[in-house]
Amino acid sequence: MKSLFINAEKQVRNGWKVLGYLVMTTLCVFGLVISRRALPAGVRPFLPEPFLAFLGAIIPSWICARLERTSLADQGFALHRRVGRDFGLGAVGGALLVGLVAFGVWLLDGFHFVRAPEGAALSIVKSAWTMLAVALFEETFFHGYAFQRAIRGLGPRWALLLFSLFFALAHPFGEDMQGTVKLVALLNIFLAGCMLGFCYLRTGSLALPVGVHFGWNWVLGSLGFGVSGNASKGLWMPVFHGKPIWLTGGDYGLEASAVSVGVIGLVVVGLALWKGSRAQPDASVRVPPDASTPAVA
């Protein structure tokens, strides 16, 4: 039984560390969200669920770091001078990706914009905080401790593919979505997972993937598109022209559009070819020497 749980270096195998973190985080997030719902209605707005979810992911990350005598900085949370730059570049990049996909669908006569009712400007400011919390939670959960320990055990290539699939399957898909539309959405989110995973691998920091994730979600919602099937209120609203949903994405959002497959796919190829510029050696992750080479053939 020892070999099942302990490796040759007399340490707990990385697979069990990944499983332990995922279980701890799931229980922690679930407990915090349930506790919030038990609070008085007047208190709940001060404790939004996405921020509680991030808290539920960062606490197990800290516990795992303490058990391994490392720190959260070793997991990509280091506050060095490049954090702000990487986050900003990521946010701009995510926004530009949304713009490119939306422009492509518009060129194909997929929709036109109309102005949203008054008050939408305030809603997009509020949504910025929500989308930031969502990005922090999902990047901590999918590309933080568990992803980094999977890299140790499987290498960057297989860890990237496994967690990108996990990322895609964790997103909700409506029962009314047709097979083709669901397949396109699943492929898009899988590619997005690869893109965000590469952002971590190439920089050794979560700042860039958090920025890209935030920029994509926030601008997507600000333009009135659905965000992974969740309705949003933006400054504009898209009016669709009856084109196939697999082209426009429909109510699910541009993540279900075939145009996104091409745009995000090209970004993934570019990141795979980019050698990266890691901010500093990351002893906790210990990415193998071939991590700077393309992880997807």
- The model's confidence at residue 124, banded by pLDDT at 50, 70 and 90, is confident
Residue 9 has pLDDT above 80, yes or no: no
- The model's confidence at residue 69, banded by pLDDT at 50, 70 and 90, is very high
Supply the DSSP symbol for 251: G
Task: Give the pairing type, strands 236-240 and 111-115.
Answer: antiparallel
CA distance 270 to 247: 24
What's the confidence (pLDDT) of residue 283?
A: 38
Domain of 93 in residue numbering reads as 80-292
Query: pLDDT (tens digit, 9 = 90+) per residue, 262-284?
Result: 999 999 999 999 887 664 434 34
Query: pLDDT (tens digit, 9 = 90+) per residue, 76-121?
Result: 998 888 899 999 999 999 999 999 999 999 999 999 999 887 656 6
Distances (CA, A) of 211 to 86, 118, 120, 275: 7, 28, 23, 20
CA distance 200 to 139: 9
Question: For residue 227, which phi and psi values (nearest 5 degrees)?
Answer: -115, 100
Tokens representing residue 221 in the block: 């919602």
Q: Is residue 40 part of a domain?
A: no
- The model's confidence at residue 122, banded by pLDDT at 50, 70 and 90, is confident
Average pLDDT estimate for 33-54: 90
Residue 293 has pLDDT above 70, yes or no: no
Q: Is residue 138 part of a domain?
A: yes
- The model's confidence at residue 288, banded by pLDDT at 50, 70 and 90, is very low
Query: pLDDT (tens digit, 9 = 90+) per residue, 201-256?
Result: 999 999 999 999 999 999 999 999 999 888 887 788 899 998 999 999 999 999 99
Q: Is residue 60 part of a domain?
A: no
Residue 292 has pLDDT above 90, yes or no: no
Query: pLDDT (tens digit, 9 = 90+) per residue, 143-169?
Result: 999 999 999 999 999 999 999 999 999
- The model's confidence at residue 45, banded by pLDDT at 50, 70 and 90, is confident
Cα–Cα nearest to 12, from 63, 75, 68: 68
Burial class of residue 215, CB neighbours in 10 A (0-12, 13-18, 19+): buried
Supply the DSSP symbol for 6: B
Q: Is residue 43 part of a domain?
A: no
The SS3 of residue 223 is coil
Q: Is residue 64 part of a domain?
A: no
Burial class of residue 248, CB neighbours in 10 A (0-12, 13-18, 19+): buried
The total number of structural domains that make up the chain: 1
* The amino acid at 195: M
What's the confidence (pLDDT) of residue 197?
A: 97
Residue 259 has pLDDT above 80, yes or no: yes
Residue 285 has pLDDT above 60, yes or no: no
Q: Is residue 20 part of a domain?
A: no
Q: Is residue 236 part of a domain?
A: yes
Q: Is residue 62 part of a domain?
A: no
Residue 297 has pLDDT above 70, yes or no: no
Q: Please count the other Cβ atoms lying within 10 Å of the Cβ belonging to residue 45.
A: 7
What's the confidence (pLDDT) of residue 85?
A: 93
Contact 162, 154 (CB under 8 A): yes
